[in-house]
């Protein structure tokens, strides 16, 4: 059986970017996390301790997004590493970070990175 837990649309205001203005002013980001795991026991027994707590996922994303970085690629890898370290039942993991209204001299809604492992 295949099980996936998604925590989508985690909204963050963070200070990432290569331009000094980006790190000083900050910007809006959306983070989506998909975790492949086995939650059969949780589904049968209605037991939170047998699955992945969404609160933990949200906390880890917020902690890592609060650390300024030049690249969202770096932030995404930190989120992935932190989740794998703290949540032992992960079989596969996908992290997507979307940067809204990036300063790239064009009419672009957003840019995003996706890391899957």
43-84 per-position pLDDT tens digit: 999 999 999 999 999 999 999 999 999 999 999 999 999 999
Q: Is the pLDDT of residue 103 over 90?
A: no
Gap between the Cα atoms of 50 and 16, Å rounded: 35
Q: Is the pLDDT of residue 1 over 80?
A: no
Domains of the chain: 3-116 (3.30.1130.10)
* Helical (H) or strand (E) element with 79: helix 72-86
What is the C-alpha radius of gyration for the chain, rounded to an integer number of angstroms? Answer: 16
pTM (2 decimals)? 0.94
| Residue whose entry in the numeric block shows the structure tokens 């995404």 | 76
| pLDDT at residue 23 in the model | 86
Residue 5 has a CB neighbour count (10 Å cut-off) of 19
Gap between the Cα atoms of 54 and 64, Å rounded: 16
Report the SS3 class of residue 100.
strand
Residue 57 has a CB neighbour count (10 Å cut-off) of 21
């Amino acid at each position: 059986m295949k099980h996936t837990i998604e925590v989508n649309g985690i909204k963050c205001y963070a200070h990432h970017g290569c331009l000094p203005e980006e790190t000083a002013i900050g910007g809006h980001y959306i983070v989506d996390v998909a975790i492949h795991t086995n939650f059969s026991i949780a589904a049968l027994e209605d037991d939170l301790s047998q699955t992945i707590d969404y609160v933990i996922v949200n906390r880890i994303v917020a902690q890592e997004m609060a650390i300024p970085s030049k690249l969202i690629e770096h932030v995404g890898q930190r989120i992935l590493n932190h989740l794998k370290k703290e949540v032992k039942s992960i079989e596969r993991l996908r992290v997507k970070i979307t940067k809204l209204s990036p300063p790239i001299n064009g009419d672009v809604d957003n840019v995003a990175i996706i890391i899957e492992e």
